[in-house]
Structure formats: C-alpha cells, structure tokens
Amino acid sequence: MLVDIVRADVFAFLESNEELLFNERDFQMHLATWLRNSANVYDDVDMEYYVPKSELDNYKWNSELRLDIVVKKDGEYCPVELKYKTKKVERQITRFDEVLHDKVVVMKNQGAQDLGMYDFWKDVRRVELVKNRFKMVKSGLAVFVTNDLLYTKKSRTNSNNYLLNMNDGKHSPIKHWQQPESACAKTHPNFEVEREYTIKWNQIYVDDVQFYYCIVSI
C-alpha cells in the first residue's frame, strides 16, 4: 500500500535528519522536499492541501481543513498530518556562512501538552473523515515529533486529558475531556475516532537534543 511506502520515507527522514527544525512549518517544508526527492518517485507531493469542511460528514471544528502533506502515486493519495511540539532550545546559528555571535531560540517552549495531545488525535480523526469521503484515499498518516518527554507519559486517571493520552500502547477511540466545564472542553469539542490506535515512540538525537516521535497509520 502507498501508506507503507510513505511511512518508510517519513521514518527515513526522521532517522537521518541532522538539523534542528525551528517549527512545524519548517518540519513540513523539509519533509515535503525529502518526499519529492525520494527514490520512490511519487507522482506529486502537495502541501496545505485544502479540503472544504462542508464535504466531510461529522466534521466538528470551525477551522478549515488543510492537510499538511498529500502524496500521490499511481492514482492513490496518502494524506500526512504533522505535529511538532517543542521545549525551548537555544543555539548559535550560521547565516550567510557566518557564525552569529549570540545564541538564538531555535525552538520555542510551547507547553499546553493537553492541547497538543488533542490536536494529534484531531489529526487522526480528520484523516479518517477524508478517507471515508474520497475513494482514492486508502489510508493516511499522523506524525508527531517532540523534544518534550511529557507527551510520552501517561496522565493520571483523573486528569482532564486522560482520554487524550499518547503513551506507548493501545488507546481508546473516545477522545473526551473529563471535566466538561473546563476551558479546554468549551473550546475544543469532544469527538471519537473509529478504532483503537497503538502508539509506539521512537527516540532520536538531533544536535544533542533528544527527540521522540511516533507515526500512526490510519
């Protein structure tokens, strides 16, 4: 299946990348370039692939859907949704072949891990909806990369985001907040995905920074 080919390419990119990426858009651009240059020779690699939300059944969010990357090969499409959640990292950087004097923040401290987890499962659900609507989409990927260890840990059972956990193992299809009156619950609607998904974290180092990533096939 195309999804298996794309998954292997995403894995190869993450394992071989030696550059700290500033943010999610930087990650998106580098991965798309890698896929376009892949030995698998895809027919097309598109970014910010717009799908009107009116075309999708049970789409719960006000925001429009722009898939991060869509890969096409032999008439089949594979959407790839990305999340890149970071803790602060400072480095000296080179610009125009000169090493700059002062360190700069190359990765910001994003925090809000509960919303980061929500956004990952939201990506999973959106790929499911696209797959259900378009017959040439057989499967897709949700990719999560972070240098924040908290994402890999299981929350307490009474935590508001307990059902949004991303620790190693199988996860329930129910993606609900446990405190209905919380600010998160009021701005981020509950939803369900279609089945249990299994998360497996991998570890890599980039410029002495430890990263964790998972790739979920949908």
Beta strands in 86-125 (DSSP E): 89-91, 94-95, 98-99, 104-107
pLDDT of amino acid 101: 86
> What integer is the mean pLDDT of 82-96?
91
Q: How far apart are CA 26 and CA 171, in angstroms?
A: 29
Residue 189: per-residue pLDDT: 96
* Mean pLDDT of the residues in the chain: 95
CA 164 to chain centre: 14
How many percent of the chain have pLDDT more than 70?
A: 100
Closest CA to 10 of 177, 166, 215: 215
Confidence of residue 191 (pLDDT cuts 50, 70, 90): very high
Whether the CB-CB separation of 182 and 160 falls below 8 Å is answered with yes
Q: What is the pLDDT of residues 193-212, one digit of tens each?
A: 999 999 999 999 999 999 99
pLDDT for 91-113, tens place per residue?
888 889 888 888 889 889 998 99
The pLDDT assigned to 92 comes to 83
pLDDT for position 169 = 96
- pLDDT surpasses 90 at 44: yes
* Range of lowest pLDDT (37-41, 43-47, 115-119, 173-177): 37-41
* Rounded CA separation 165/202 (Å): 16
For residues 66 and 82, the answer to whether their CB atoms sit within 8 Å is no
Q: Under 8 Å CB-to-CB from 33, ≥6 apart: which residues?
A: none
Domains of the chain by residue range: 2-217
Q: Contact 179/118 with Cβ under 8 angstroms?
A: no
pLDDT tens, residue by residue, 133-189:
999 999 999 999 999 999 999 998 999 999 999 999 999 999 999 999 999 999 999
Of residues 38, 46, 52, the one with CA closest to residue 8: 38
d(CA 127, CA 167): 21
Confidence of residue 88 (pLDDT cuts 50, 70, 90): very high
- Pairing assessment for the beta strands 76-85 and 65-73 based on DSSP bridges: antiparallel
Residue 98 is predicted with a pLDDT of: 86
